[in-house]
Amino acid sequence: MKLLVANWKMNLTVHQTLDWCQNYLELFKEIDHKLIICPSYPALTAVSQLIKDTDIALCGQSCSEHRNGSYTGQVDAQSLAQVGCSYVLVGHSEERNAFNLTNEQVAQKALRVLEAGMIPIICIGEPETVYQAGKTQEYLEEQLFDIKRAFNGAPAYIAYEPIWAIGTSKIPTNEELIKIVNNLKLFIQGCAFLYGGSVNAETITQLNQIKDFCGYLVGNASLDGHELKKMMELP
């Protein structure tokens, strides 16, 4: 059973999110895959109520590295757990770039998620310059160094999402992906691996050939419920 994480980013308003749920939730009730949805913060409480009798899980799009305090505009992990989240994305490339997050800050966010009783989905990925230079592995291990040191086997997902693949319809070759995952499994143990970056109904057919990916982080393609259902039905 594959895991699909639908990251809606800031594409849907609260009303549009509720419309999505009303229009599409019925499609996923009998599909043999696990679906996790990541609405915006203001929609989390309402969506939690809509999915409470389903197998669909709720995920926050990020959280603060701080437990509490004078951090205007940030959201603490405990609050996400209290509104029904079971997972939280941390370190997505868009957030890393927008807020100049350090790898240490990402590790702290992931620890706050664990403390709150949820599972972190830790995003890593290299820019195209690093990929072209053949230094992907070193870059990814650097991103995970603080995670490896702090986690000590705690449950977590690692979402490999090459920055150059996001929204481009380009993905690495299967040979490249198999090598990356095998090396990461040696570097950090106890984590399950997802792939993200231009995941859609076309690319997922290739990606499904890679057994070490337990699922996918899906961006824009997840906004269309029928497209998402199609991805979940592919072998």
Ramachandran angles phi, psi of 4, nearest 5°: -115, 125
Query: Catalytic residue positions?
Result: 92, 161
List, in sequence order, the alpha helices (H) in the chain.
14-24, 44-50, 77-82, 93-99, 103-115, 128-132, 136-151, 174-187, 203-207, 225-233
Ramachandran angles phi, psi of 27, nearest 5°: -65, -25
**The Cα angle at residue 5 between residues 183 and 95, in degrees rounded to 5:** 75
59 DSSP 8-state letter:
E
